[in-house]
Structure 1
């Protein structure tokens, strides 16, 4: 028997304005209430990096607090192999700069709804996610993937907050080794830039672009003298221009005062002529 149009319409994906596809999320098979996830293909070209390719990255909104990175990865693995999962408090660009800090030294994460960036191995996985039916929910907690909530979750977090001193010491040593290595590389790079900027026999200085696009400045004595002389000449030109400006303003003031004086003299002459006028009707 062929399915009715009503059932066939329900099996389609739910797409809302804005291009988001709505996926239903169910905590377990026994629960009745459902949660909605809003997914969309990530197409922000300003954030195009190797970690978020435009053709394989899925943008997810409204991820509940009980879904960790591992849980989200398992949920979306049914649509294809997942390379990486990134959860954030709000949408934003990916920050690759800075040392990698262990989770022991990181500040406590906010417990709330998050946004996610899921990178698949194949672009066909995005099509599979966007065509998934809303009536088929994604189950979070299963026998193969148990998810703890409530008091059990608090107890687990409390137990994981304690770390063995030997493991902590290894993490600290590893961080300090990476820090010393990074400082040595920066010092070596600065030394090479200084050597490149030394004066040659004719007194020329080679100015190169420094680290991260910053323009390096010459530090030789002759270069500093030339810069100082240039600033002095610039200051003298500015003073001369200010003098000419003052002279022009003073000339304008004198001209205005002379015009006012002539205006008063003409005004008195007109008044005198009016007083001397005699009325002669015949």
Structure 2
């Protein structure tokens, strides 16, 4: 796409195709080089998470690696009070939403690269202020209030922070295990309640007692009924598989009865001849 020939005024925002507003960023006040951020109001309907309200969330692209969540929060605070900042490798739902929140100690090492971010403001007016920011006024990353370390100083800081005190680690582990035990207990109680509500026999009938109403089948109940049907069909298949054996056994039994009947007839005839047969 060819660039637009129309020049922006010095006090106007620069908007590019896709609805993104360009925000220039420089590392410190003495830097000559600038970096570009692309921001847009977060309006994804599929993402209905409570921590990303659509009217107060700003979606940010091309965040440099030296910008942490604290640095981004300080940088965007000039548009208004920032509630939270979330940095990710790719847009989408945070992986922490599907499970318990883990401490940074147990998280995998973060990838070094450009990030996407979700900046949540406390007021919706901050979104308009960020989108109308003049394109010739750069946001400063490293200030006196927020010092950003790079190079060797950053490596030394990361190495120092990698050592964890034993008592702090023990507190984190105990807190996680308490939450795990609580979740397991809640799951067991829920399963017991479902089992109590759905008392079924092997045929899938629900036992209804006085003062209670028949409840619809749950997923666990349907699964149990399906297993009972499968077992019943297997028994039928086994009987059908050995049907020829049953038939042969019955034929042999009938032949044996007939043979015994003929023998008894001969004995009776012999007794009659000898006049020893007295049926009454």
Identify the residue that residue 77 of structure 1 maps to in structure 2: 77
Q: In the superposition, relative to structure 1, how do residues 225 and 35 fare at CA in structure 2: closer, same or farther (>3 Å)? A: closer
> Displacement of 1:127 after TM fit?
0.6
Report SS of the residue matched to 2:85: strand
Alignment of 1:67-216 (within 5 A): 67-95=67-95, 96-199=97-200, 203-205=205-207, 208=216, 215-216=219-220
Q: Which structure 2 residue ranges, 5 or more long, are not aligned?
A: 1-5, 208-213, 238-280
Taking structure 1 as the reference length, what is the TM-score of the superposition? Answer: 0.72
> Displacement of 1:207 after TM fit?
5.7
Counterparts of 2:151 and 2:220 in 1: how far apart (Å)? 56
Counterparts of 2:75 and 2:223 in 1: how far apart (Å)? 58
Counterparts of 1:131 and 1:56 in 2: how far apart (Å)? 15
Counterparts of 1:204 and 1:7 in 2: how far apart (Å)? 75
Matched, 1:35 2:35: yes
Please provide the CA RMSD for this pair: 2.8
Counterparts of 2:62 and 2:41 in 1: how far apart (Å)? 15
Report SS of the residue matched to 1:216: helix
Counterparts of 1:8 and 1:19 in 2: how far apart (Å)? 16
Identify the residue that residue 49 of structure 2 maps to in structure 1: 49
Q: Which structure 1 residue ranges, 5 or more long, are not aligned?
A: 1-5, 236-282
Counterparts of 2:217 and 2:100 in 1: how far apart (Å)? 24
Counterparts of 2:45 and 2:94 in 1: how far apart (Å)? 12
Counterparts of 1:17 and 1:209 in 2: how far apart (Å)? 52
Counterparts of 1:183 and 1:37 in 2: how far apart (Å)? 44
Deviations 1:204-254 (A, max 9, x none): 3556576xxxx222587xx5797359858xx9xxxxxxxxxxxxxxxxxxx
Residues paired across the two proteins, number: 223
CA contact (8 A) 1:208 1:216 kept: no
> Displacement of 1:97 after TM fit?
2.0
CA contact (8 A) 1:207 1:217 kept: no
Counterparts of 2:18 and 2:227 in 1: how far apart (Å)? 61
Deviations 1:61-96 (A, max 9, x none): 000011100111111111111111110001112341
Counterparts of 1:138 and 1:209 in 2: how far apart (Å)? 59
Report SS of the residue matched to 1:38: strand
> Displacement of 1:54 after TM fit?
1.3
Give the ranges of 4+ consecutive aligned residues of structure 1 lying more than 6 Å apart after TM superposition: none
Identify the residue that residue 63 of structure 1 maps to in structure 2: 63
> Displacement of 1:121 after TM fit?
1.3
CA contact (8 A) 2:75 2:140 kept: yes
Deviations 1:180-214 (A, max 9, x none): 111111111111110010149xx53556576xxxx
